[in-house]
Amino acid sequence: MSRRIAVVGSNMVDLISYVTRMPDRGETVEAPDFRMGCGGKGANQAVAAAKLGADVMMVTKVGDDVFADNTIANFRRFGVDTTWVEKVPGTSSGVAPIFVEPSGENSILIIKGANAHLLPADIDRAAADLKRCDLILMQLEVPIETVYHTIDFAKANGIETILNPAPAAPLDPEKVSKVTFFTPNQTELALITGLPVGDEAEAVTAAKSLVARGLRTVVVTLGARGALVVTAESVTRVPPVAVTPKDTTGAGDAFIGSFARFYVESRDVLGSLGKAALYAADSITKPGTQTSYATAEEFAALMAANSPA
Ligand code: RIB
């Protein structure tokens, strides 16, 4: 039977402008292309896992605007359980204006909207369904109290967790020390530890400082340079997969969501991270966030094409 993953997190409507360059303050610049899509770090990670065949439940809030029904329908299209996707009256849905430059790099603004209304009490109401999950995935686009409460809930119920501390925000290391996997990028790691994270050696030092405070496994994502897995016993490199980027938006979510799927089925940390690196690299060769994520069949073909003959 397929293992069950819960995502306690955000959903956003992505408004993606493909720009030739970012405007200066007070300047108007024409951009050649625009796409609207379903996004949000929580939703993206849920959809990546679901597209790979995982049994996924989403715990999130949408507004009562024109975007809400489409967001719910989008989850259902990918087979994500929406029992705990609730509408907040009088509130807008989360929205993310995104700017993608010709290099494929992105800049994102988020307006949390209904996501700011996902509260600890909502986790308690979903408790019976959450207890049936093998892994709970979280990010930081919902109130931090809800994240801390979910971590405590999961620990008390023997459920493994992944905390992807994005977007970067200060965190209480003691409160997050109970997670199974902590997955910051370099910026997030620097903010959380207060240490410089300019290169890999500094990333290892900063990650080790979190391990010393009780975190079991810190996975530092390094973008095009792969990832580092830091535990009390070892530091291991996850090599990057080289591709030509078209749109890097949501690549981190592709990495985390696919890792959750691979790990929950295999419990093989390094093997799952290696596959997640390939999954995320493939996503940046295509435009959009969820639209760029491969299905299980597409990923199987990709694996075959990337396996040594
Ligand atoms: O990580 C990418 C996501 O960040 C986008 O989908 C956007 O909605 C923001 O949440």
Q: Does 26 reside within a domain?
A: no
Instruction: Please say if 253 is a catalytic residue.
Output: yes
Read off the pLDDT of residues 94-152 as tens digits, 9 standing for 90 and up.
Answer: 999 999 999 999 999 999 999 999 999 999 999 999 999 999 999 999 999 999 999 99
Give the residue whose CA is nearest to atom 7 of ligand 1.
Answer: 40
Q: Does 256 reside within a domain?
A: yes
Residues 116 and 107 sit within 8 Å (Cβ to Cβ): no
Indicate if the pLDDT at residue 224 is higher than 90.
no
Would the CB of 9 count as within 6 Å of ligand 1? no
Indicate if the pLDDT at residue 199 is higher than 90.
yes
Total domains present in the chain: 1
Ligand 1 center–CA 241 separation, angstroms: 22
Coil, strand or helix at 246:
coil
Q: What is the pTM of this model?
A: 0.97
Q: What pLDDT score was predicted for residue 247?
A: 93
Q: Does 28 reside within a domain?
A: no
At residue 101, φ and ψ (nearest 5 deg) are -90, 165
Ligand 1 center–CA 302 separation, angstroms: 24
Q: Which atom of ligand 1 is nearest to the CA of 12?
A: 8
CATH of the domain at 46: 3.40.1190.20
Would the CB of 252 count as within 6 Å of ligand 1? yes
Give the residue whose CA is nearest to atom 2 of ligand 1.
Answer: 250
Mutate to test the pocket of ligand 1, among 44, 112, 140 (most ligand atoms within 8 A of CB): 44
Q: What is the mean pLDDT of residues 42-49?
A: 98
Mean pLDDT for the chain overall: 96
Angle between helices 296-306 and 269-283 (to 10 degrees): 100
Q: Which atom of ligand 1 is nearest to the CA of 39?
A: 6
Q: Does 24 reside within a domain?
A: no
Q: Does 23 reside within a domain?
A: no
Q: Does 128 reside within a domain?
A: yes
Would the CB of 39 count as within 6 Å of ligand 1? yes
Q: Does 25 reside within a domain?
A: no
Amino acid letter for position 174: E
Give the residue whose CA is nearest to atom 1 of ligand 1.
Answer: 250
Q: What is the mean pLDDT of residues 78-86?
A: 98
Q: Does 179 reside within a domain?
A: yes
Residues with Cβ within 8 Å of 180's Cβ and at least 6 positions away in sequence, in order, are 135, 160, 161, 162, 216, 217
**Alpha-carbon gap, residue 232 to 239, rounded angstroms:** 21
Mutate to test the pocket of ligand 1, among 12, 35, 105 (most ligand atoms within 8 A of CB): 12
Q: What pLDDT score was predicted for residue 90?
A: 97
Q: Which domain holds residue 165?
A: 4-18+33-306
Give the residue whose CA is nearest to atom 10 of ligand 1.
Answer: 40
